[in-house]
Each structure stands twice: as C-alpha cells, then as structure tokens.
C-alpha cells in the first residue's frame, strides 16, 4: 500500500526527526502492507509550532471561507471514497462493502454538516447590553483510535476547523494510512499550511508528547478509558481543556410490547458490524423473562447467519483479548449459544459471531468493554429491574429501547444514564450530539454541540 515516509507539517510532507517506523499489518492475512514513521517529541513540537503559527490567521478567517474549505474537503473525500474504503479494509480489516458504506460514507456526511454549520453558526450574539463572541479555543491536539479511523478524525478535525482552531493529529498506530490519506485530502482542499498537521507514532511516545505539550490548548481524545483517565489528569494539571470519548457497555432494552424479532435482529447486527469494534455497540441485550428463550433462539440464528461476512479484529492483541473475554464468560457460567473462543480461521485475527445466554448483570462480560463480536442476553423481571441493569455499569455512552410505541420507549430512555439512545431502531443522525455519561467521557462530538467544544466565549459590555 502507498505510504508517506514523513509527517505532514506546515503544509508539506517532511522527514521525521528519528528513524523509527511502525509496521502496518493487514489483519485479514497478517501481512505487513506498509511502514510509516514513528514520530517522537521533536516531530510533535514541530507540528504544534506550525499549528500555533497558523492560528491567528485561520481564527480570523471569515466563517464563510472556513465553510468553503471544509466543503472542498468533503468533495475530495467523495472523489477519493474508493481509495479510502480500500485503505480502511487493508489496515482495519472491515469487509469492503462496510468500508464503502460506513468508513468512507459517514465522514462525507460529517464533513458536509460542518461545512454548513461553519456558515450558519451564531459566532456572535447579543445578551442584554453585551455582545458575546464564540472564539476558537486555539491549537487542538487530536488523538484518535483505529475502530472508525476516518470518522473519528473527521468528527474532530472538521469541527475544529469550523470553529477556527488549528490541529495536530496523532492517529492510532494500527490505522495510519487512512490518516495519511486524510492529510492529502486536506492539502488538496486548499486548507492553508499549518492549519492541519499529522504526526504518526506510538501512543505513549507521540500521543503523550502531544497531550503534554504547552502549545496545545485542548486535547480531544477518543479511545480506551484507561488512557483517557491519564490524558484527563495531564490536561487538568496544566489547566488545559479536554474532551474524552471513551468506552461503552450499552444496553439494548427490549420491552415486552416490542417487535421481538426485529429488535433482536437489529440488535445482533448492531454488535456484529465492524466486528464488534464499536464503542457505542449495544453489547447487552435485555429481554423480559417471558420472552427470553425466544430471544435467545432468534439471536443465535441471527449470529449464525453472519458467519463469514464478519471481518477480523484489528490486531493480534485485540484477538487474544476478545477470545480471553469469551473464555471468561464460559468460566463464569454464561451459556454459549453461538460462536466461541476458537479462532474460526487459521490466518487472520477472526472471531466467530458469539452469543451468550444466561448472562447475569455482574459477570465480567456484562460489565467490561469486550470490543469484539460478542452479545450477552440478560433477563429482567420488570421495567425497574431492566432500568437497574441498564444503568448498572460504569459506562453510559449509548443504548437502544424497543417498545410497541415510541412514547413508551421514550419514557424508558429518559430514565437511562446514557448519552445517546436509539428509539425503535432510530437512524444515524450526523447532527445529533454523541458522547458519554459517567466514565464514557467528557464532552460531545458532532453537530453544533461538537462545534461548541472548540469554542470559548468572550463578552463585551456596552
Ligand atoms: P488506546 O486508548 O490505547 O488508543 C487510542 C489512541 O490513544 C491511539 O491513538 C493511541 O496511540 C493513543 N494513546 C495510547 N496511549 C497513549 C498515551 N499514554 N498518551 C497519549 N495517547 C495515547 O486504545 P487501544 O489500545 O487501541 O484499544 C484498547 C481498548 O480501548 C479496546 O479494547 C477498547 O475497549 C477501547 N477502545 C475504545 C474506543 C472508543 O471508540 N471508545 C476506540 C478504540 C479502543
């Protein structure tokens, strides 16, 4: 695969300060497909300086001009969507149709939404005898994971650019080629030099250097809760802003009045998509005791249908981790009704679509984020019991509620401690705020709420 051997800093590809590299592996066949530079503190420093130097001019650009650049970026993402999908498939392992529809498709919607928001957002308002300005926070250090490699970059960078911020991106080490393609797209879109910069590298080296850098005003991180806590502590100590998009263990609550077959079918598909590597996946399916056995049979059937259509997990470490969780589920007494810990193929980091029945709320597989194609069916006795189970984890990122009518589902959803709930299979909305309650994070992404994260207010009194 095509790869740059430098960093994109100040509008050009520049050699890295050191000679270390990261091997990019195709998780479907375990072959090395490219090498990218593993940047260090020196590269991060050069990128932050470029971002800081570009900040005053970009921050002062008229919102309409920023909107035009983001619209141009969206157009490049459209023009290069096939290349993007092939690249995501090569380094993440997602099946090509999923890469085309989701990994290449969703970023186009999100970039388009920020082109419109940059043009229409009220960056200035009158409050009594004051004028309140929404001004850019400054230089953003963006640290992204591998599971939705382009979406997570665009959700941060398009919002930051719309706000008038400049950015240094440190993408995940497993998916740097998608990030390099994005940097090419930014360049092609005519975004001025220094406004967006890319440093590839390891999390504890380049990522940490970025989070700690004095020249960064806001750290926007998506990834594991463990790393998020460290980044939050570092940012807090420096009185720096921080946005954290962390893990989840979301509940799919099926109320007795719901269309059970539909709720179970959509619920299983929601977990299996992207091989279960979705932070907002509904990995706990909550079913009333009277419908439990039927739901188990439906879920097992739906998972079996997935069979070969599921892609591999991203790397050997995740492969071992997810299979370890499945073994733990068995050891703690849950009943396997589909899949299991055995690797279904000799090559590649594949895990079979797995369904557990007889899962109780305190089991490890019902509490911790597995990040693999594993769904747990938990029984509840009544609505209060369902709510207690749904809210009974440290996370609160997403969820789903199914009922005979929307009003009944909404009443339940309003009692859930979670940031986003799909009602009776609600559709993705790129303008809806996305983010967590409790340990799922701090801050919101997408839409105007996502834009506001990159703004700070100044009030002038008259
Ligand atoms: P991670 O948190 O280690 O990595 C996410 C990003 O943070 C990467 O860019 C990484 O390089 C960077 N990073 C790592 N250590 C850092 C540090 N000390 N300072 C600054 N940046 C650092 O996640 P992972 O190891 O790729 O995945 C582990 C688990 O995290 C998964 O099993 C899953 O549970 C969870 N996860 C969640 C999400 C999500 O969207 N919420 C995404 C990926 C992974």
What residue ranges line ligand 1, CB within 6 angstroms?
Answer: 143-147, 170, 172-173, 203-204, 207-208, 211, 222-224, 227, 230-231, 245-247, 279, 318, 369, 371
Same domain membership, residue 236 and residue 255 = no
| Spatial CB neighbours of 36, under 8 Å, sequence gap ≥ 6 | 3, 4, 5, 21, 22, 24, 176, 177, 180, 200
Query: What would the mean pLDDT of 43-66 be, rounded to a whole number?
Result: 98
Same domain membership, residue 94 and residue 223 = yes
Give residue-wise pLDDT tens across range 370-386.
999 999 999 999 999 99
User: Is residue 434, in this structure, part of any structural domain at all?
Assistant: no
Query: What CATH code is carried by the domain that includes residue 108?
Result: 3.40.605.10
User: Is residue 1, in this structure, part of any structural domain at all?
Assistant: no
Nearest atom of ligand 1 to the alpha carbon of 247: 41
Query: What CATH code is carried by the domain that includes residue 329?
Result: 3.40.309.10
Amino acid 308: pLDDT: 78
User: Is residue 199, in this structure, part of any structural domain at all?
Assistant: yes
Number of domains composing the chain: 2
Please give the full DSSP string across 128-174, using - where no structure is assigned.
TTEEEEEEE--EEEEE--SSSHHHHHHHHHHHHHHHT-EEEEE--TT
Please give the full DSSP string across 371-402, using - where no structure is assigned.
-SSEEEEEEESSHHHHHHHHT-SS--S-EEEE
Same domain membership, residue 288 and residue 160 = no
Give residue-wise pLDDT tens across range 116-173.
999 999 999 999 999 999 999 999 999 999 999 999 999 999 999 999 999 999 999 9
Amino acid 97: pLDDT: 97
Query: What would the mean pLDDT of 322-346 be, rounded to a whole number?
Result: 97
Give the domain range for residue 119: 6-246+439-461
Residue 307 banded pLDDT, cuts 50, 70, 90: confident
**Please, how many CA atoms are within 13 Å of residue 161, restricted to the half-sphere of its CB?**
36
* CA gap 97, 202 in Å, rounded: 30
Residue 306 banded pLDDT, cuts 50, 70, 90: confident
Structure tokens at 264: 């179970």
Same domain membership, residue 319 and residue 242 = no
User: Is residue 192, in this structure, part of any structural domain at all?
Assistant: yes
Same domain membership, residue 268 and residue 203 = no
Residue 312 banded pLDDT, cuts 50, 70, 90: very high
Catalytic, 165? Answer no
Same domain membership, residue 127 and residue 270 = no
Amino acid 309: pLDDT: 86
Same domain membership, residue 405 and residue 300 = yes
Same domain membership, residue 443 and residue 313 = no
Residue 317 banded pLDDT, cuts 50, 70, 90: very high
Same domain membership, residue 255 and residue 208 = no
- Average confidence score pLDDT of the chain: 98
Same domain membership, residue 256 and residue 217 = no
Contact 11, 192 (CB under 8 A): yes
């Amino acid at each position: 695969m095509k790869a740059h051997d430098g960093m994109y800093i100040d509008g050009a590809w520049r050699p890295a300060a050191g000679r270390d590299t990261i091997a990019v592996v195709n998780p479907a066949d375990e072959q090395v497909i490219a090498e990218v530079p593993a940047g260090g503190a020196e590269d991060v420093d050069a990128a932050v300086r470029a971002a800081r130097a570009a900040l005053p001019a970009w921050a002062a650009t008229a919102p309409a001009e920023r909107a035009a650049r983001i619209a141009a970026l969206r157009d490049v993402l459209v023009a290069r969507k096939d290349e993007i999908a092939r690249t995501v498939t090569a380094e993440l392992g997602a099946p090509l149709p999923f890469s085309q529809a989701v990994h290449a498709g969703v970023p186009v919607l999100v970039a388009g939404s920020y082109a419109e928001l940059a043009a229409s957002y009220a960056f200035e308002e009158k409050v009594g005898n004051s004028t309140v300005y929404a001004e850019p926070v400054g230089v953003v250090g963006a640290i992204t994971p591998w599971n939705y490699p382009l979406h997570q970059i665009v959700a941060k960078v398009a919002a930051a650019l719309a706000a008038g911020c400049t950015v240094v991106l440190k993408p995940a080490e497993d998916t740097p080629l998608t990030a390099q393609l994005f940097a090419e797209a930014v360049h092609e879109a005519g975004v001025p030099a220094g406004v967006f910069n890319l440093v590839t590298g390891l999390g504890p080296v380049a990522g940490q250097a970025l989070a700690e850098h004095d020249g960064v005003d806001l750290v926007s991180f998506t990834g594991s809760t463990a790393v998020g806590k460290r980044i939050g502590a570092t940012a807090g100590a420096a009185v720096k802003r921080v946005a954290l998009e962390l893990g989840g263990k979301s509940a799919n609550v099926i109320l007795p009045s719901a269309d059970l077959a539909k709720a179970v079918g959509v619920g299983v598909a929601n977990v299996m998509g992207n091989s279960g590597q979705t932070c907002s996946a509904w990995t706990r399916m909550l079913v009333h005791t009277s419908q439990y056995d039927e739901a188990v049979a439906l879920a097992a059937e739906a998972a079996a249908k997935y069979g070969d259509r599921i892609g591999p997990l991203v790397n050997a470490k995740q492969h071992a981790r997810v299979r370890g969780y499945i073994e733990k589920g068995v050891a703690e007494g849950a009943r396997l009704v589909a899949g299991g810990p055995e690797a279904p193929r000799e090559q590649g980091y594949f895990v079979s679509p797995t369904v557990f029945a007889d899962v109780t709320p305190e089991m490890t597989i019902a509490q911790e984020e597995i990040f693999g194609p594993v769904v747990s069916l938990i029984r509840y006795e009544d609505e209060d019991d369902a709510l207690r189970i749904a809210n009974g984890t440290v996370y609160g990122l997403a969820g789903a509620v199914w009922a005979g009518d929307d009003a009944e589902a909404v009443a339940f959803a309003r009692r859930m401690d979670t940031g986003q709930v799909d009602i009776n299979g609600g559709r993705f909305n790129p303008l809806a705020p996305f983010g967590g309650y409790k340990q799922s994070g701090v801050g919101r992404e997408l839409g105007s709420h996502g834009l506001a994260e990159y703004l700070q207010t100044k009030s002038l009194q008259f």
